Amino acid sequence: QSALTQPASVSGSPGQSITISCTGTSSDVGTYNYVSWYQQYPGKAPKLMIYDVSNRPSGVSNRFSGSKSGNTASLAISGLQAEDEADYYCSSYTSSSTRVFGGGTKLTVL
Amino acid sequence: QVQLVQSGTEVKEPGASVKVSCKASGYSFTDYYMHWVRQAPGQGLEWMAWINPDSGTNYAQKFQGWVTVTRDTSISTAYMELRRLKSDDTAVYYCARGLAGSSPGFEHWGQGTLVTVSS
């Protein structure tokens, strides 16, 4: 199972919006509405931000949203804030009932 | 509240085995999947395995045959054993509880256990 493909880095200024893509295959992202997104600060455990493509857990800001089209899922962050600077990972359920992560995207708030 | 508390830092020699524990509290341990995820220094997250409410297991192909995940329901603790350690197994190992229902994401995470493999 190959890792999902994410851009290595994205950046944006405070107040702007950014999007992080996550490309898989028909064995994972393309077939199942089971993509989740995680935020990770250096030295900390990841935090769930989006599950099942577009659902936000309780307590996660509505500035975070998720979507999917074909084999590519996306995480959008609106109204960028300094605290959003972190690494972001996508994950998908697979046809083998396993899970697979993306390589991660470093978000820099300029 | 849900808590996953993992065992402490380990230093092992190449060829040895390591067993990491993850003690759960604040929820019904037998109702949820438990996953294991690792992160090598400066690298991304890598899914390793899950154990489900029926104690069934599933492993990433890469880890089949040298990783074993188990649980002891009497003490609400999950375990991950990695055998025949190599230097590139040096990583932080996380346990992560699944979401409720059929959603396959990772809702709660342990603090991580650093395993260093060095001679």
Q: What is the per-residue pLDDT across A34-87, written as a single tens digit (0 to 9) for each?
A: 999 999 999 999 999 999 999 999 999 999 999 999 999 999 999 999 999 999
Residue type, B43: Q
Instruction: From B105, B84, B98, select the one nearest B22 (Cα to Cα).
Output: B98
Pull the structure tokens for residue B33: 């999947």
Can you give the pLDDT at residue A57?
95
Residue B43's pLDDT band (boundaries 50, 70, 90)? very high
- Bridge pairing between strands B10-12 and B113-117: parallel
- Residues A6, A20: contact at Cβ < 8 Å? yes
User: Quick check: B42 pLDDT over 90?
Assistant: yes
Long-range contacts of A10-13 (CB under 8 A, 24+ apart): A10/A105, A10/A106, A10/A107, A10/A108, A11/A107, A11/A108, A11/A109, A11/A110, A12/A77, A12/A80, A12/A107, A12/A108, A12/A109, A12/A110, A13/A80, A13/A109, A13/A110
Task: Look over chain B and give the mean of its residue pLDDT values, rounded to a whole number.
Answer: 96
Q: Residue B103 is nearest to which of A3, A52, A104, comparing CB atoms?
A: A52
Q: Do A45 and B107 touch (CB under 8 A)?
A: no
Of A99, A100, A106, which to mutate for an interface test with B (greatest number of B Cβ within 10 Å)?
A: A99
Can you give the pLDDT at residue A87?
98
Can you give the pLDDT at residue B100?
85
Find the length of chain B. 119
Q: Tell me B14's DSSP state.
A: T
Q: Do A51 and B99 touch (CB under 8 A)?
A: yes
Instruction: From B39, B44, B106, select the one nearest A104 (Cα to Cα).
Output: B44
Can you give the pLDDT at residue B8?
97
Per residue in B74-108, pLDDT (tens digit) is 999 999 999 999 999 999 999 999 998 878 899 99
Of B9, B33, B45, which to mutate for an interface test with A (greatest number of A Cβ within 10 Å)?
A: B45
Task: Search chain B and give the residue with CA nearest A55.
Answer: B103
Specify burial of residue A78 (Cβ count, 10 A radius: 0-12, 13-18, 19+).
middle
- Residues B72, B82: contact at Cβ < 8 Å? no
